[in-house]
């Protein structure tokens, strides 16, 4: 959670949280000759509140105060709230304010007594878009004299708004957005401001999900092939081990396996980086499913194929490599792809143990914003991967049908994954059998 | 007569409790074309498959030239290199073209160069009349064409003997002839052949010997004309009476 909070602060999504942190860090009162100023907003280009604290001189009361804001600050709508603190007693001071150019002028009636702790809060100050370090000019009238704050720590800093924050502000100002957001469902699921701010953040999570499955799936293919050949082995113990493994993995939820890996392993003294634990547990899980897919694929090849290869003097491994497996690959590619799709979607389960993948980002921003838009953004990111894959499988199947059933095979219509899974069984029958 | 290419002695084969071959003896000399006839279940296909050990004999001996085929120490792959086989169901590799089918084992088993394998494949495919179908995939060929590719595939290995296991049974009648013509050419070229078939015409024309099997044993054998026209055994008479 801490990582994300930091990330969100950096991108200015969490203005409120940032302000809290900043105020906690603010220094206590200084003498007016050594005053301090804080700003309750880290990101530029927004309406913000300044807090100016100081201790008035001991020799005379203060009757007026001028705060000169740097060029670029818009104080036309600014207003102020002034209090003095004496011990625990907090007194509101009557102050008349006026704005002249970059000067924000306050006149106190009655004047503030000597040695008071003064706190001036100026609201609705628009900071410039470009962040940086700025200094506040301070002058005050005391005992009929104009004085300047001396040796003052009157500088403050803020950051330039990120592109997504600027975009969000821009979107915020569009008239259609207000209308759009007035429809509850649209506001709840498709809030434009949240789309533009959460999409770049969640991109990082999307990459993480892809990386997890990108490393895990190739490992699962290797493991799945090993398990498939173990299951078809002539050596009984190999068969038993593979069968037991496949049954246990396929018979228990991935969720449980993730918990065992992420909570059990550290207790057992195994400390791996969470990314490693993540892709390993995905690979271990998927290899069991792939083993069954491969085994079924290999066994679906007509036994005459193996006999023909052997009768030509090929060894069993040669027959597997050059005759059986190439045919198997073509046949299992669609099922393998849907297994990949399943595994990619299952990376979401890793959010339950704190892995920062797509779903984790989504649910965190949802928790912060109280709006479901990030879930929709996450869905789009998932579909970005799964939809082209499903289409690709369709084209692949068409090519396969053409190769196995001749040029006369009809061009398949647009097909869904369901149709593919259903027709796969028909396709796995060799053309030879159909002629028999 | 010289040393037989294939010598079978007291061959027995059981599937579980079912004894399919009950002691078969047979010698096949170089250049012989032996046609094996018999009702289904008589064990003729099983016998053929024992020759290259696609079926493991239960007992008895099978010799290929100087090698005891059913010896655990025998490298069966070396035997199979020289024993070509053609199946009822063609068993072409569907992911390879006709030429690819004929080239694969040449490359992997005989370690011929690509050019050499390609040359042999093209030659063999032309011989079986498929010079214009080399780059077709099996699914793009008719059954008869597929079976001829399968024959070319076996011949490309320069076999010493060819086993034909009911190679025309799965074909439409009009496609049978092309395959039989190829086999006849092969026989006339001097190839040693063991042919399980129901094609009487082919047997009469080409075979040097006809063998009639029933119930897991050889019931009668001899010159085709003798076996077909003057069968001695009652079961042979009965069988021939049925298929005529």
How far is the CA of A50 from the CAs of A138, A282, A426, in angstroms? 13, 51, 73
3-state SS, chain B, equals CCCCCEEEEEEEEEECCEEEEEEEEEEECCCCEEEEECCCCCCHHHHHHHHCCCCCCCEEEEEECCEECCCCCCCHHHHHHHEEEECCCCCCCCCCCHHHHHHHHHHHCCCCCHHHHHHHHHHHHHHCCCCCCCCCCHHHCCHHHHHHHHHHHHHCCCCCEEEEECCCCCCCHHHHHHHHHHHHHHHHCCCEEEEECCCHHHHHHHCCEEEEEECCEEEEEECHHHHHHCCCCHHHHHHHHHHC
Verify whether the Cβ–Cβ distance A310 to B80 is below 8 Å.
yes
The pLDDT, as a whole number, for residue B100 is 95
Least confident of A62-71, A80-89, A100-109, A422-431: A422-431
| Closest in B90, B108, B150 to A322, CB measured | B108
Tell me the per-residue pLDDT of A24-56, one tens digit each, with 9 for 90 and over: 222 222 334 456 667 666 677 777 888 888 888
Tell me what ipTM this predicted complex has. 0.94
- pLDDT range class, residue A9, cuts 50, 70, 90: very low
The predicted pLDDT at position A119 comes to 87
Residue ranges matching CATH 1.10.3720.10 in chain A? 209-371
More confident site: B125 or A143: B125
Query: Does the beta-carbon distance from B143 to A304 stay under 8 Å?
Result: no
Q: Mean pLDDT throughout B212-234?
A: 90
Is it the case that residue A309 has pLDDT exceeding 50? yes
Average pLDDT over residues A310-330: 92
Which of A133-142, A167-176, B5-14 is modeled with the greatest confidence? B5-14
Answer whether A312 sits within 8 Å of B81, measured CB to CB.
yes
Mean local confidence (pLDDT), A239-254: 96
Task: Inform me whether the pLDDT recorded for A344 exceeds 50.
Answer: yes
Class at the top of the CATH hierarchy for domain A209-371: mainly alpha
What integer is the mean pLDDT of A381-408? 79
Is A431 in Cβ contact with B170 (below 8 Å)? no
Within 169-228 of B, beta carbons closer than 8 Å to A belong to 170
pLDDT at A17 over 60: no
Q: What is the count of residue pairs from A and B with beta carbons less than 8 Å apart?
A: 89
Residue carrying structure tokens 């105020």: A23
* pLDDT for res A57: 78
pLDDT at A399 over 60: yes
Residues 6 or more apart whose Cβ sits within 8 Å of residue A405: A431, B139
- Determine the 3-state secondary structure of A108 from DSSP: strand
Residue A42 has a pLDDT of 66
The closest alpha carbon to A97, from A141, A130, A66, belongs to A66
Name the residue of chain B whose CA is nearest to A317's CA: B108
> Cβ contact (<8 Å) for A312 and B104?
yes
Are A403 and B137 an interchain contact pair (Cβ–Cβ within 8 Å)?
Answer: yes
Q: Which one is the CATH code of A32-158: 2.60.40.740, 3.40.920.10, 3.40.50.300, 2.40.40.20?
A: 2.60.40.740
In chain B, residues with a C-beta closer than 8 Å to the C-beta of A326 are 95
Within 8 A of B146 by CB-CB distance, chain A residues are: 432
List of chain A residues whose C-beta atoms are within 8 Å of the C-beta of residue B93 = 305, 308-309, 323, 327
| pTM check: above 0.95 | no
Please check the confidence at residue B31 and state whether its pLDDT lies above 50: yes
The answer to whether the Cβ–Cβ distance between A318 and B93 falls below 8 Å is no
Residue A403 pLDDT = 62
So what's the pLDDT on residue A418? 52
Q: pLDDT exceeding 70 applies to what percent of chain A?
A: 81
pLDDT at A413 exceeding the cut of 60: no
How far apart CA A48 and CA A40 sit, in angstroms, is 6
Q: What is the tens place of the pLDDT at every residue in B172-183?
A: 888 999 999 999
Using pLDDT thresholds of 50, 70 and 90, give the confidence band for residue B19: very high
Residue extent(s) of CATH 2.60.40.740 domains in chain A: 32-158
Query: So what's the pLDDT on residue A18?
Result: 30
pLDDT bin (cut points 50, 70, 90) of residue B136 is very high
Query: What pLDDT does A432 receive?
Result: 37
Out of B87, B95, B109, name the one closest to residue A314 (CB).
B109
Mean per-residue pLDDT of chain A: 81
Q: Which residues of A touch B (CB under 8 A)?
A: 302, 304-305, 307-315, 318, 322-323, 326-327, 330, 403-407, 430-433, 435-436
């Amino acid at each position: 959670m801490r990582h994300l909070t930091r990330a969100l602060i950096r991108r200015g999504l969490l203005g409120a949280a940032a302000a809290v942190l900043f105020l906690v860090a603010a220094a206590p009162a200084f003498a007016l000759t050594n005053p301090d100023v804080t700003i309750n907003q880290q990101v530029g280009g927004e309406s913000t509140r300044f807090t100016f604290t100081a201790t008035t001189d001991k020799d005379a009361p203060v009757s007026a105060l001028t705060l000169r804001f740097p060029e670029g600050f818009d104080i036309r709508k600014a207003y102020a709230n002034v209090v003095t603190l004496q011990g625990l007693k907090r007194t509101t001071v009557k102050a008349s304010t006026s704005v002249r150019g970059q000067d924000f002028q306050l006149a106190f009636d009655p004047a503030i007594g000597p040695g008071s702790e003064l706190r001036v809060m100026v609201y609705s100050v628009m900071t410039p878009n470009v962040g940086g370090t700025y200094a506040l000019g301070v002058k005050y009238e005391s005992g009929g004299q104009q004085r300047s704050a001396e040796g003052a720590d009157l500088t403050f800093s803020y950051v330039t708004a990120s592109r997504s924050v600027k975009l969000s502000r821009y979107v915020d100002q569009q008239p259609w957005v207000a209308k759009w957001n007035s429809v509850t469902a649209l506001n709840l699921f498709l809030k434009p401001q949240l789309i533009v701010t959460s999409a770049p953040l969640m991109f990082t999570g999307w990459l993480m999900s892809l990386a997890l499955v990108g490393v895990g799936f190739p490992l699962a293919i290797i493991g799945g092939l090993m398990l498939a050949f173990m299951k078809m082995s002539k050596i009984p113990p190999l068969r038993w081990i593979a069968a037991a493994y496949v049954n246990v993995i396929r018979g228990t939820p991935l969720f449980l396996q993730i918990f065992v890996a992420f909570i059990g392993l550290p207790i057992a003294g195994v400390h791996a980086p969470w990314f490693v634990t993540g892709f390993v547990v995905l690979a271990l899980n998927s290899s069991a499913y792939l083993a069954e897919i491969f085994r079924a694929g290999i066994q679906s090849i007509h036994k005459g194929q193996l006999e023909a290869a052997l009768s030509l003097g090929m060894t069993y491994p040669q027959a597997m490599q050059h005759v059986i497996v190439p045919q198997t690959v073509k046949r299992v590619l669609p099922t393998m792809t849907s297994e990949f799709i399943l595994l990619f979607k299952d990376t979401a389960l890793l959010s339950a143990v704190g892995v920062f993948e797509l779903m984790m980002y989504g649910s965190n921003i949802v928790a912060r914003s109280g709006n479901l838009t990030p879930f929709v953004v996450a869905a789009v990111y998932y579909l970005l991967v799964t939809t082209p894959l499903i289409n690709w499988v369709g084209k692949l199947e068409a090519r396969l049908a053409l190769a196995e059933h001749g040029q006369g095979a009809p061009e398949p219509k647009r097909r869904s994954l369901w149709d593919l899974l259903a027709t796969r069984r028909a396709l796995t029958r060799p053309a030879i059998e159909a002629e028999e | 007569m010289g040393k037989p290419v294939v010598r079978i002695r007291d061959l027995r084969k059981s599937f579980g409790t079912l004894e399919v071959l009950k002691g078969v003896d047979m010698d096949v000399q170089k250049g012989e074309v032996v046609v094996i006839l018999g009702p289904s279940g008589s064990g003729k296909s099983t016998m053929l498959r024992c020759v290259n050990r696609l079926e493991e004999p239960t007992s008895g001996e099978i010799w290929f030239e100087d090698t005891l085929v059913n010896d655990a120490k025998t490298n069966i792959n070396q035997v199979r290199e020289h024993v070509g086989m053609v199946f009822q169901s063609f068993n072409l590799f569907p992911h390879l073209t006709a030429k690819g089918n004929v080239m694969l084992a040449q490359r992997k088993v005989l370690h011929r160069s690509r050019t050499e394998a390609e040359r042999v494949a093209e030659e063999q495919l032309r011989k079986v009349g498929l010079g214009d179908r080399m780059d077709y995939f099996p699914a793009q060929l008719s059954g008869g064409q597929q079976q001829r590719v399968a024959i070319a595939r076996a011949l490309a290995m320069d076999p010493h003997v060819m086993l034909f296991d009911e190679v025309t049974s799965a074909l439409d009648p009009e496609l049978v002839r092309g395959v039989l013509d190829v086999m006849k050419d092969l026989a006339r070229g001097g190839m040693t052949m063991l042919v399980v078939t129901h094609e009487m015409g082919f047997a009469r024309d080409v075979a040097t010997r006809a063998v009639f099997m029933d119930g897991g044993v050889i019931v009668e054998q001899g010159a085709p004309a003798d076996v077909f026209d003057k069968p001695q055994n009652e079961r042979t008479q009965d069988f021939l009476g049925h298929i005529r």
